[in-house]
Amino acid sequence: MVNKIYGKKIGMSRYFVEEGRSVPVTIVKIEPCVVIQKKTIAKDGYEAIQVGFDNKKERQVNKPMKGHFKKAGDKLFNYLREIKVDNAENYELGQTIDSNIFQPGDLISVSGKSK
């Protein structure tokens, strides 16, 4: 099962709890991730899936990357990341992974990178 998803920070806001106290919150837009490649122990030495997110225009992508993306469908992506999984065979090329992997009440650990 995938335990990671990627998104973009939209901004900050505040949420008022029942006691009237305000809590700072970060607004994150969850980008749907598409499985681009499956990494297996036999071929790569570890189990992972490579996902792409944040669509990119065709003129901004070079030919080798277009060929890499073509295996998974017709979309081109700005970012490629790997997610370690227990069994990469459970995922299909072109499969979309989105925020539906989380249920209301789930605790999520968030990390970010500053520019």
pLDDT at residue 21, as a whole number: 95
What pLDDT does residue 111 have?
A: 81
Taking only the tens place, the pLDDT of each residue in 18-75 is 999 999 998 888 888 999 999 999 999 999 999 999 888 888 888 988 888 888 888 8
- HSE-CB at 56 with a 13 A cutoff on CA atoms is 15
pTM listed for this prediction: 0.77
Domains of the chain: 32-101 (3.30.160.810)
β-partners of residue 107 are none
Tokens coding 4: 């990671």
37 vs 109, residue with greater confidence: 37
